[in-house]
Structure 1
Amino acid sequence: MSFEIKEGSQEYDAIIVGSGAGGGMASKILSEAGFRVAVVEAGGDFDPAKEEHRTQLRFPWESPRRGAGTIRPFGDFDAAIGGWLIDGEPYTKSAGTRFDWFRSRMLGGRTNHWGRISLRFGPNDFKRSSIDGLGHDWPIGYDDLKPYYDRVDKLIGVFGTKEGIYNEPDGFFLPPPKPRLHELLIKKSADKANIPVIPSRLSILTRPINNERGVCFFCNQCNRACQAYADFSSGTCLVKPAMQKGKVDLYTNSMVRKVTTNDRGEATGVSYVSKEDMREYKLKSRVVVLGASACESARIMLNSKSKTHPDGLGNHSGMVGRYLHDSTGADRMAVIPDLVDRDRYNEDGTGGMHVYTPWWLDNKKLDFARGYHIEFWGGMGMPSYGFGTGMDTLRSHIKDEFGTPSPNGGYGAGLKKDIKRFFGTTVGMSGRGESIPRYENYCEIDPLTVDKYGIPVLKFNYNWTDQELNQAKHMHDTFEELLTGMGGKLLGTKPGKENEYGLHAPGRIIHEVGTTRMGNDPSNSVLNSNCQSHDCKNLFVVDGGPFVSQADKNPTWTILALAWRTSDYIVDQMKKQNI
């Protein structure tokens, strides 16, 4: 496939590819330093406060298909535009690989519909190899990022409480919301099991922090993106404010093909295909910053071949795409008989859990090396369309408790009575854990497949190991202890080794990191400790790619802190004329 290539007349100080957490932060810091910035986004513009994008505060039955199917992966009203499979944008897998890749095509990327779980990595998380001998240590430590975590807390806002847990560092917190009834029951059961349950740390404003954003009004719909801007999304909190205050041009619906380079191997800009006219365009800049997501940035680098970079830009080590890893994930739920016929009241709260369990055990006493946290869900939030279809399952479990099945019947008025009795009686738990980074888990360019823009696609190679399987088994043992401790009747059967203890496929937790990892040794890393390419001094990566290892925490807060730190370094080096 061939495209007409048009040179852009505008030259920039920096081109940023991607507008998610990392790209958004870079756009803010670099533009406020006085640099002229271009943000190149593969999706369209998005503002949840605009009528054409607003889905918040709409009832489930307003769904175009009444819930019978969806054009969005998490429901018609979810803010996610993109998905696991995108028409015309395939990816492939090697034999035996189950990796699933989620891509958001919209301003702000995946920060529009995430859980807003905003956890700092702890001191141990940067030095795991020194603790358990697996993988590698980061070239930086917690003290290097702490000032930036502090800045992110104050700029964006996060609620929580100071707990004094060494590897779960405290920050600057807004007041957390109170636990809901099912969360109080979880806390009671956890106390008996000596498992900690503490207030969550979510980037949702419970108090005002500036005049540009509203405060949470507890509609429990953060996944739809907040029209009051009370939760963190990169587009509303970083990119749009940067465009208002600085010199930022936004290019939407623009699929980057590659980073262009000169004869010295230095980055000169990017080449992208416009989705609007299917023509290829070029933009020029002094610096290129990739924040397209760990896998997409690796894809761009691998496709950016030249005489100086024959194996892809910044890939002299052969490490671009290597050490890909995602969080582990497993879930269980139960129906709680004590919650049958509970009083009805508004229990929406924030769009996420009000309490959670941080990792609490010593891995030296376990058969797996890395930990996990537990997320809790349940309560009487707005029911999804078709809630009543699960009544037979609920009846069968409640029957065990009361001795007889519900007398109300399976349809009509009787079904409505059962829905009222049973709604709000289920509680669920999700483990989200750290996997071991492995050279053998990677993405590469598939030489046989291109997308509809003529850009070669990624091929994934990924398998879990016994480390992750044993961790998932421990998750399920813990879930059962907590749920039965609440008097719960477990739903479903406990998964065994034959189905990987219920582990979700790699990629399903949407925490993939590590494809362009940082390190002091250019032979086994892609970037230095400032997220700067070893091979190309004016190329930087600010998404999850630079991570040496994941943690038992969500990566977004660390992406933001790293992106701010990297952006400060870029400002310093550009002012010194070093790049």
Structure 2
Amino acid sequence: MSEKVYDALVIGSGAAGSFAAKELTANGLSVLLLEAGPEIGKKDFNPSKKKPPASAINIWERARATIKGQPIQARAAFFTERFSRFFVNDRKNPYTTPRGEPFLWIRGRQAGGRLHSFGRVLLRWTDNDFKINSRSGRGVDWPVSYDELAPFYAEAESHLGLYGNEDHVATLPDGVYSRPAKLTPAEELFKKTVEGDAPERHVVSWRYIAPDAERVPRPLREAMASGKLTIRYDSIVRRVTTDPQTGRATGAEIIDRNSGAVHTVRAENVVLCASPIESIRLLLNSASEKHPNGLGNSSGTLGRYFMDQLPCLAFGTYPPAKGWSHDDSAPQDPFYNPSGGIFVPRFENVDGKPQRGDFAYQGSVGRAPVGNNDAASLAFFGFGMMLPHADNRVTLDARRKDAWGIPVPHIRCVMHETENELIRKQEKTLIDMIEGAGGKLDFIGSPLGLKEMGRGAFPEADALSRFLFRKWFRKTMVMGAAIHESGGARMGTTRENSVLNSWNQSWDVPNLLVTDASAFPGGGTAGTTLTVMALTLRACRKLAAGYRNEAE
């Protein structure tokens, strides 16, 4: 039993955990951060591993990773061997899904979490995302509005130093940018053509952060420099401990990842930032006499209303532009490929009708190397808004345990007819937009299947790789492929319909916060990371102020 009682315990060190540690230590609290994986530093970013894939499909890299124990992680759309250490070993970290209802759980366990492997794109959400119930008649509205989150968006953006431009698009609010972001000549032409044909549509640059040369997330570095932060790596949290009389959180029970030794740590407050599925799993596994159905689950909603965004992937060429261009907006990194590209936020014209499409597209045109006289390449990934359904949920599978003896999550996340209809529109709209701008698609695919067009998928690859790609695609482009999972411990306006209140605080356990994307009541159409950061800053500032007042 550890004798030291920290002011706050933070579980997880990714987008939420690093900002939680920063905010709490900045307010003078002593913080213990628990990270399930190892410490990460410059030694883990070997430039010699930055090699071009053997083929456009990199099928053999995925095969090698599968053999080494990463059959799920290797299905991530943009997986490469270079990043394999930033993804978990699936044999040690299994999970289950219902038969015939696959879900890809792409994750990393190391200091910084998925901040080392995500696309570094940080986009704001709007009230189109936050007012899910009033728009759809489903679920519950977020108990916060865009205006409430805007100052925290700005704070996170300013802290990280974004590349981006003011675009004045209502469905994608401008942020705070330290440097401009460029488009390639091919993207400029694509933008001019799309916006000329449909002025209500907008093609804008990514808003993104460059790779950090220190290889430790900046908010985490700042927390470490405060002298108020203690970090325990390789510490897998088995459950959050609670007081048997009051039901309040008292700390956590942890397992050493390497030795298997069990320890208990203590804190006055607990901030759960482990990522959606892990946080739900941990809350369910923390059941006690005071919390028989899982920690903070008096509403019965814990694990329910789990979502991911609807994925679709398209590759092709853009004959109106030739060759390719290097984007020099950000300095080149010896380990990471250059960032940058285009984003098409949701718009109000679908199928030529004045109806909002609850989907958005992220992509690039003219960035992949091709011959000077060859048509520019293009690639797009679509993200559609999944509605919250009570039967999409995360539960515990007591029959299966991970390498540390903890019950694994059982994940059900399937499209209902609403989502099937939306993803059909999402695909058709993308095809029409690309072809209308002069592009030619080789393929487009989603959980509905693969559609090859023109030259077919990856025409330059060898026949065996193309055959394996077609076979693997049905296991790759399924729910979870967007890697924007959310929900399961949602915020709400009453303790009867939600797990958390408007400050990410458990209704049942007042000294417990959950600030990762499991808190989301709705799924949105843009990446979740910036909203997670903003919510974490807001919640932890409130926690720190209240805790200081109690101490006084």
Give the whole-Å Cα distance in 2 for the aligned partners of 1:131 and 1:255: 40
Output the aligned Cα RMSD.
3.1
> Partners of 2:359 and 2:173 in 1: how far apart?
16
242-251 or 483-492: bigger deviation: 483-492
Matched, 1:311 2:306: no
Instruction: Pick one of 118, 133, 139 that aligns with 1:135.
Output: 139
Aligned pairs for 1:376-387 (under 5 A) are 376-381=363-368
1:42 aligns with 2:36: yes
Preserved contact between residue 130 and residue 137 of structure 1 (Cα < 8 Å): yes
Task: Report Cα offsets for 1:62-81 as digits up to 9, x if no partner.
Answer: 99x99573467421223761
392, 416, 420: which one pairs with 1:441? Answer: 392
Indicate which of 424, 440, 444 corresponds to 1:489: 440
SS of 1:470's partner is helix
Question: What is the CA-CA distance between 1:61 and the residue it aligns to?
Answer: 7.4
Partner AA of 1:245 in structure 2? S
* Residue 422 of structure 1: how far off its partner (Å): 7.4
Tell me, yes or no, if the aligned pair for 1:348 and 1:380 is still in contact at 8 Å: no
Residue 227, structure 1, aligned to residue 231, structure 2: no
C-alpha distance after superposition, 1:409-433 (max 9, x if no partner): xxxxxxxxxx746777321222112
User: Does structure 1 residue 359 correspond to structure 2 residue 346?
Assistant: yes
Task: Tell which deviates more after alignment, 189-198 or 319-328.
Answer: 189-198
For the residue of structure 2 that corresponds to 1:260, the secondary structure is strand
Contact 2:138 2:387 in 1 (8 A): yes
Does 1:107 pair with 2:89? no
Alpha carbons of structure 1 residues 522 and 494: separation in structure 2 relative to 1, 3 Å: closer
TM-score (norm: length of structure 2): 0.84
Structure 2 counterpart of 1:69, one-letter code: R
Over alpha carbons, which structure has the higher Rg? Answer: 1
CA distance in 2, matches of 1:79, 1:108: 15
SS in 2 for 1:8: coil
CA change 1:271–1:227 in 2 (3 A) is: same
The question of whether the paired residues in 1 share the 8 Å contact of 2:275 and 2:517 is answered with yes
Of 314, 324, 332, 2:314 maps to: 332
**How many Å separate the matches in 2 of 1:247 and 1:20?**
18
CA distance 1:61–1:132, change in 2 (3 Å): closer
Partners of 2:125 and 2:53 lie apart in 1 by: 40
* Cα distance change on mapping 1:429 and 1:318 into 2, 3 Å: same
What residue is the counterpart of 1:272 in the other structure? 254
CA contact (8 A) 1:14 1:288 kept: yes
What is the CA-CA distance between 1:202 and the residue it aligns to?
Answer: 2.3
Kindly tell me: are residues 425 and 313 of structure 1, through their superposed partners in 2, closer, same or farther at Cα, counting changes over 3 Å?
same
1:69 maps to: 64
Secondary structure (helix, strand or coil) at the match of 1:174 reads strand
Q: Is the 8 A contact 2:122 2:529 kept in 1?
A: yes
Indicate if the aligned counterparts of 2:305 and 2:391 stay in contact, CA closer than 8 A. yes
Aligned partner of 1:285 in structure 2 is: 267
Cα distance change, pair 345–53 in 1 and its aligned pair in 2 (3 A): closer
Contact kept in structure 1, 2:165 and 2:207, CA below 8 Å: no
1:241 corresponds to which residue?
222
Select which of 82, 93, 98 maps to 2:97. Answer: 93
* Offset, 1:191: 2.6
Are the equivalent residues in 2 in contact too, given 1:54–1:227 (CA < 8 A)? no
The answer on whether the counterparts of 2:395 and 2:409 sit within 8 Å (CA) in structure 1 is yes
- Correspondences of 1:494-513 after superposition (within 5 Å): 504-513=477-486
Q: Give the 5 Å matches for 1:469-488.
A: 469-488=420-439
Asked whether the 8 Å contact 2:318–2:439 carries over to 1, the reply is yes
**What residue number does 1:161 align with?**
165
2-structure distance, mates of 1:576, 1:289: 19
Closer, same or farther in 2 for the Cα pair 1:267/1:367, shift >3 Å? farther
User: Which residue of structure 2 aligns with residue 207 of structure 1?
Assistant: none
Q: What do the CA deviations read for 1:25-79 (whole angstroms, capped 9, x no partner)?
A: 11001111111111101111112xx23433488333799x995734674212237
Structure 1 range deviating more: 160-169 or 90-99: 160-169
Offset of 1:15 from its aligned partner?
0.7
Structure 1 residues 201 and 188: CA distance shift in structure 2, 3 A: closer
Q: Secondary structure at the match of 1:525?
A: coil
- Report the CA distance between 1:367 and its aligned residue: 11
Matched AA of 1:360: F
Of 170, 176, 181 in structure 2, the residue corresponding to residue 177 of structure 1 is 181
User: Which secondary structure does the structure 1 equivalent of 2:90 belong to?
Assistant: coil
Q: 1:422 to 1:460 in 2, by over 3 A?
A: farther
Question: Cα distance, 1:368 vs. partner?
Answer: 8.9
Distance 1:75 1:276, change over 3 A: same
Alpha-carbon distance in 2 for matches of 1:304, 1:324 = 19
Cα gap change, 1:345/1:164 in structure 2, threshold over 3 Å: closer, same or farther?
closer
Structure 1 residue 516 and structure 2 residue 503: aligned?
Answer: no
Give the 3 Å change call, closer, same or farther, for CA 553–273 of structure 1 in structure 2.
Answer: same
Q: Does 1:59 align with 2:59?
A: no
Distance 2:292 2:364 in 1: 49
Q: Is the 8 A contact 1:17 1:292 kept in 2?
A: yes
More displaced 10-residue stretch of structure 1: 350-359 or 141-150: 350-359
What is the rounded CA distance, in whole Å, between the counterparts of 1:115 and 1:543 in structure 2?
18
Given that 1:323 and 1:438 are in contact with CA atoms closer than 8 Å, whether structure 2 keeps it comes out as: yes
Q: Does 1:452 align with 2:433?
A: no
Q: How many residues align?
A: 508
Cα offsets for 1:269-299 (capped at 9, x unmatched): 0001101211111100001110000110110
What code does the residue aligned with 2:258 have? E
Q: Which runs of 5+ in 1 are unaligned?
A: 1-6, 205-215, 217-224, 230-234, 384-418
For 1:59, the aligned partner's letter is K
Match of 1:465 among 411, 416, 437: 416
Q: Which amino acid aligns with 2:512?
A: L
CA displacement at 1:163 relative to structure 2: 3.0
Q: In the aligned structure 2, how far is the partner of 1:93 from the partner of 1:367?
A: 38
C-alpha change, 1:35 and 1:496, in structure 2 (3 Å) is closer
Distance in 2, matches of 1:19 and 1:499, equals 36
In structure 2, the CA distance between the partners of 1:192 and 1:170, relative to structure 1 (3 Å rule), is: closer
Corresponding position of 2:380: 429
CA distance in 2, matches of 1:26, 1:178: 32
1:117 Cα deviation after fit = 1.7
TM-score (normalizing by structure 1): 0.81
Question: Cα gap change, 1:363/1:123 in structure 2, threshold over 3 Å: closer, same or farther?
Answer: farther
Percent of counterpart pairs with the same letter? 30
Aligned partner of 1:260 among 233, 236, 241: 241
Aligned partner (choices 270, 294, 311) of residue 276 of structure 2: 294
1:537 equivalenced with 2:510 (yes/no): yes
For residue 380 of structure 1, report the CA deviation from its aligned partner.
4.2
CA spacing shift, 1:308–1:357, aligned 2, 3 Å: same
- CA gap 1:500/1:136 in 2 versus in 1, 3 angstroms: farther
CA spacing shift, 1:86–1:30, aligned 2, 3 Å = same
Kindly report which structure 2 residues correspond to 1:368-379, keeping only aligned pairs within 5 A, or say none: 371-379=358-366
The amino acid across from 2:546 in the alignment is: Q
Q: Is the 8 A contact 1:79 1:112 kept in 2?
A: no
Q: Deviations over 1:362-389 (max 9, x none)?
A: 68997997611111224344x6xxxxxx
Partner amino acid, structure 2, of 1:517: R
Judged with a 3 Å threshold, the aligned counterparts in structure 2 of structure 1 residues 137 and 56 are, in CA distance, closer, same or farther, namely farther
Q: Matched residues in 2 for 1:137 and 1:475: separation?
A: 24
